[in-house]
Structure 1
């Protein structure tokens, strides 16, 4: 599976890059993940099977559990999808094509950068769940 994570930031701070890099490194046995800083422009993307918007959601209406996210990842793989794009910090108006998948990684309001860390961590957690690997050691 190939993931592209678009974030609506011009660039990332050194500490954020380091944290995200750690989770991408941990994901490498399972999948390929790439982070693209899109800045303030509308997201430009092509060739993705599924496009998913990650949005702040203080209501908790769009949050999902780690187990449900792991099932979603597994279902996409079993469905034959090989490329998934995630968009952090964008609005639906910024995206020319969007699946009906919209979710939040937390019911708290997070900055785009913190949301990126939380999302890459949850992506790694989903793969540990799907592969029966102990997450907490």
Structure 2
């Protein structure tokens, strides 16, 4: 299975980069992982709703360049479905059994995702009603994907 994570914005913090590298290394046993960063747009202070919509649209166009036909797309959205780790593991396993060979996870920037990206998603997934920085969300997502593979292969992993 190929897993692609598309995130808006560049990660600059060394501790996030190291965590991403660690989970990428761990995941290499289970799947082919691809990490894609697309440029974020500068958001002016006190941006209008129209400006915010335009910014999300531009970021969305950058994301869509990497979304392949036939891939199962999971968008991270605060209004999405909340699942636990076992349910996420089951979803990933079911997709593989059903013949899906490529899952794309999309993490938006500080303003979230455009309606075009949300509409393209096969599943909207929420990790919490809380807002997380997009850099940290990449680490959390990688950890949960790793946990899912450990669950699906009946390998021990802390609870």
- The alignment's TM-score, normalised by the length of structure 2, stands at 0.76
List runs of 5+ in structure 1 lacking aligned partners.
none
- Higher percent of residues as helix: 2
Question: Bigger radius of gyration, 1 or 2?
Answer: 2
List runs of 5+ in structure 2 lacking aligned partners.
41-58
Q: 2:131 aligns with which of 92, 101, 109?
A: 109
Superposition map of 1:13-52 within 5 A:
13-40=13-40, 41-42=59-60, 43=63, 44-45=65-66, 46-52=68-74
Counterpart in the other structure of 2:89 = 70
Alignment partners' CA distance in 1, 2:129 and 2:24: 24
Shift, 1:97, TM fit: 6.3
Alignment partners' CA distance in 2, 1:68 and 1:10: 30
Superposition map of 1:120-131 within 5 A:
120-131=142-153
CA contact (8 A) 2:19 2:139 kept: yes
Aligned length: 134
